[in-house]
C-alpha cells in the first residue's frame, strides 16, 4: 500500500478561504451548458466530464449534503458501490472511475504526467480535468475542474476532498486559478480517457441586414451585408475575446440579406438572400473548420429576407419572407440530414420581416413584422410538435413595416427568458421580454440608441451575456451588451464605421 503523496490536509489559509467563500452543493454546470447526464462509465474506460461531475456530486451530496469525512485511512463508496480512499486523490480517482480502488487508489504523484494524465494548457481545461500538486506527503493535493466562473479565467468551479482529517471535506466551490495561495505549485492535467466535451445546443438563429452566429467553441461571428451587396464577417478570436478585422465572405452577386444558424454537430451555416430572390448557402466543413464554397439553396423569386430557427432536436429551419409578403419554411428532416421542400407558413396579410428563437422548454417561436407595423407570432405547441395559429403580438405602428430585412430580432437569456427587439417606424429600438422563462411578457420599452436604426440582430456570448447589434442609417453598426449574464445593459458603443453595412 502506498502511503506517500495521498493528499494534503489543507493549510489554515486555504481552509479559511474555502469557509469564507462558502461551499455550493447545487448540481454542477458542464463547461458550456447546465445539462447534467447519467453516468454510464466503466472502470478505466472513457468517461465524459459530465459523468465525472455526476460521480463527484455523489460525495458532495453524501451525509445529507455535508459531504464525505476526510480520512486517508478510510474509504467511502462510489455511486456504483466501489470503495475509494476518502482523501483528495481517492476522491478524484472515484470521480474519474479509475483503478486501483480502495486504500490503494492513486495518490497525487500518480496523477502528474503518468497513468493517462498529461499536461494541458490552462485555457484548454475542460470539465473533468484536474489541477494537481504532486508534492510528497501531506503537501500534495489534487482538485477536479468543472468550469470557469467567467471569461477572465482567473477562477473556476471545482470539486475537492480536503482536510483536516475527521471533518467533512467534500466541496464544490469557486477556487482561484490554479489554487489558493500558499498551497504549493499546481499543474493542469488532462486525463486522456476523458471524452471531448459535447457541443452545447444553441437554439437561436438570426437574419436580416446583419446576422450573428455562435461557433462550437463559443466564439461569436457577425455577418453584415455591405452597401455594394457583398457580405463581410468579423469574429471573436477566442470566446469572449478580442474581435478580428472585417473580412470578405462572398458570395458572387448582390446579397440583400444574410442569416445564420448552428447545426446540432456544431457547424455554422450561412444563408445569403440575393437580389433576384434566390438563396445561397455556405457552411463550415466541420465545427470551427474552413468554410465550404457557396451553393444554391433556393431559386430566384423565393425570398426577400430570411431567418433561421433551431429546433430542440438540433434541426435547422429557414423562414423566408417571400417577394409577395408571405412566409415560406424549409427544414432539415433530421439533424444534418436532407432538407424538406418549401412550405407555406402564413400568416394572412403582408409580412415585412421575420425572426425566430427557441424557448427554454424547447419550443420554437416565430415573430413576423407586418406591413402596418403590427407583429404576429406563432409557436410550437410542444417541442417538435404542431404549430399554433398566428396570434397578435404587437399593435400596428410598433415596428417598421416597410423597413430593411431585420427589423425584428430575438434572443434568449442565460436564464431562459426570451427577448424581442423591434425597430420602430421612427428608427428607434424597443424591446419586450419574458418576465421568467416561458412566462408572461413585459410591455414594450425604449432601448435606444440615438440616431436612426434600420436593422438589428442579437446573440449570446459564452459567458451568457446577450449582445445586440444595430445597423444605423449611415451604414455604421453599434452594439450594446449585458454587463454580465441577465444583468444590466451597457451603453451603446461603436462597433463598425459608416458604410460598413447596407442600411
Say what the pTM is.
0.69
How far is 345 from 331, CA to CA, in rounded Å? 12
pLDDT for 463 equals: 78
End residue of a domain, out of 191, 216, 234: 191
> 181, 13 in Cβ contact below 8 A?
yes
Residues 329 and 387 in one domain: yes
Residues 152 and 216 in one domain: no
pLDDT for 461 equals: 85
Residues 448 and 313 in one domain: yes
Which position has the grid cell 480520512?
71
How far is 403 from 277, CA to CA, in rounded Å? 17
Residues 436 and 478 in one domain: yes
Nearest Cα neighbor of 59 from 98, 86, 30, 36 is 86
pLDDT for 458 equals: 95
Residues 172 and 309 in one domain: no
User: What CATH number is given to the structural domain containing 477?
Assistant: 2.120.10.70
Residues 218 and 180 in one domain: no
Residues 119 and 246 in one domain: no
How far is 168 from 166, CA to CA, in rounded Å? 7
Tell whether 3 is covered by a domain.
no
Structural domain total, the chain: 2
pLDDT for 446 equals: 97
Residues 343 and 448 in one domain: yes
Residues 306 and 395 in one domain: yes
Per-10-residue mean pLDDT, the chain, length 503 = 43 45 34 55 93 94 95 97 97 97 95 95 92 93 90 89 91 95 95 77 77 90 97 92 94 97 92 98 94 98 96 93 97 94 96 94 95 97 95 97 93 90 97 93 96 96 89 98 90 98 97
Residues 275 and 368 in one domain: yes
Query: What is the DSSP pairing of strand 351-358 with strand 364-370?
Result: antiparallel
Residues 245 and 149 in one domain: no
Nearest Cα neighbor of 371 from 329, 410, 408, 400 is 400
- Domain range for 464 is 206-496
Contacts of 226 (CB under 8 A, 6+ apart): 232, 500, 501, 502
User: What CATH number is given to the structural domain containing 169?
Assistant: 3.90.1720.10
Helix axes 49-60, 88-95, angle to 10 degrees: 130
Please state, for a pLDDT cut of 90, what percent of the chain lies above it.
76
Amino acid at each position: 500500500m502506498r502511503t506517500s503523496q495521498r493528499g494534503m490536509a489543507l493549510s489554515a489559509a486555504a481552509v479559511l478561504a474555502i469557509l469564507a467563500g462558502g461551499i455550493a452543493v447545487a448540481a454542477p454546470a458542464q463547461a458550456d451548458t447546465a445539462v447534467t447526464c447519467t453516468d454510464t462509465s466503466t472502470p478505466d474506460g472513457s468517461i465524459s466530464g459530465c459523468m465525472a461531475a455526476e460521480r463527484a456530486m455523489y460525495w458532495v451530496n453524501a451525509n445529507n449534503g455535508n459531504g464525505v469525512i476526510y480520512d486517508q485511512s478510510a474509504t467511502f463508496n462510489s455511486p456504483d458501490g466501489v470503495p475509494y480512499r476518502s482523501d483528495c486523490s481517492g476522491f478524484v480517482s472515484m470521480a474519474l472511475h479509475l483503478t486501483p480502488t480502495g486504500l490503494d487508489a492513486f495518490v497525487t504523484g500518480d496523477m502528474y504526467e503518468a497513468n493517462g494524465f498529461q499536461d494541458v494548457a490552462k485555457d484548454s481545461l475542460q470539465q473533468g480535468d484536474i489541477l494537481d500538486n504532486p508534492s510528497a506527503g501531506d503537501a500534495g493535493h489534487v482538485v477536479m475542474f468543472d468550469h470557469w466562473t467567467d471569461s477572465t479565467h482567473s477562477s473556476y468551479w471545482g470539486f475537492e476532498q480536503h482536510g483536516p482529517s475527521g471533518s467533512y471535506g467534500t466541496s464544490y466551490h469557486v477556487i482561484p486559478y490554479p489554487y489558493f495561495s500558499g498551497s504549493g505549485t499546481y499543474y493542469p492535467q488532462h486525463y486522456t480517457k476523458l471524452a471531448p466535451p459535447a457541443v452545447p445546443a444553441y437554439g437561436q438563429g438570426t437574419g436580416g441586414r446583419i446576422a450573428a452566429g455562435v461557433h462550437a467553441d463559443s466564439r461569436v461571428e457577425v455577418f453584415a451585408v455591405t452597401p455594394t451587396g457583398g457580405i463581410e464577417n468579423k469574429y471573436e478570436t477566442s470566446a469572449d475575446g478580442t474581435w478580428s478585422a472585417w473580412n470578405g465572405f462572398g458570395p458572387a452577386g448582390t446579397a440583400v440579406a444574410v442569416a445564420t444558424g448552428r447545426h446540432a454537430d456544431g457547424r455554422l451555416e450561412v444563408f445569403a438572400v440575393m437580389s433576384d430572390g434566390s438563396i445561397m448557402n455556405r457552411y463550415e466543413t466541420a465545427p470551427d473548420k474552413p468554410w465550404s464554397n457557396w451553393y444554391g439553396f433556393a431559386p430566384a423569386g423565393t425570398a426577400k429576407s430570411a431567418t433561421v430557427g433551431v429546433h430542440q432536436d438540433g434541426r435547422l429551419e429557414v423562414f423566408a419572407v417571400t417577394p409577395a409578403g408571405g412566409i415560406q419554411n424549409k427544414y432539415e428532416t433530421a439533424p444534418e440530414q436532407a432538407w424538406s421542400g418549401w412550405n407555406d407558413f402564413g400568416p394572412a396579410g403582408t409580412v415585412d420581416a421575420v425572426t425566430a428563437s427557441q424557448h427554454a422548454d424547447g419550443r420554437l417561436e416565430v415573430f413576423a413584422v407586418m406591413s402596418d407595423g403590427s407583429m404576429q407570432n406563432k409557436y410550437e405547441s410542444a417541442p417538435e410538435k404542431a404549430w399554433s395559429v398566428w396570434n397578435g403580438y404587437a399593435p400596428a405602428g410598433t415596428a417598421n413595416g416597410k423597413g430593411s430585412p431585420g427589423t425584428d430580432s430575438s434572443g434568449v437569456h442565460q436564464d431562459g427568458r426570451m427577448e424581442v427587439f423591434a425597430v420602430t417606424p421612427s428608427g428607434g429600438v424597443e424591446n419586450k421580454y419574458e418576465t421568467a422563462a416561458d412566462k408572461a411578457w413585459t410591455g414594450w420599452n425604449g432601448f435606444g440608441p440615438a440616431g436612426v436604426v434600420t436593422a438589428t440582430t442579437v446573440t449570446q456570448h459564452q459567458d451568457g451575456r446577450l449582445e445586440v447589434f444595430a445597423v444605423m442609417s449611415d451604414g455604421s453598426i453599434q452594439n450594446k451588451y449585458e454587463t454580465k449574464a441577465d444583468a444590466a445593459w451597457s451603453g451603446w458603443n461603436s462597433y463598425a464605421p459608416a458604410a460598413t453595412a447596407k442600411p
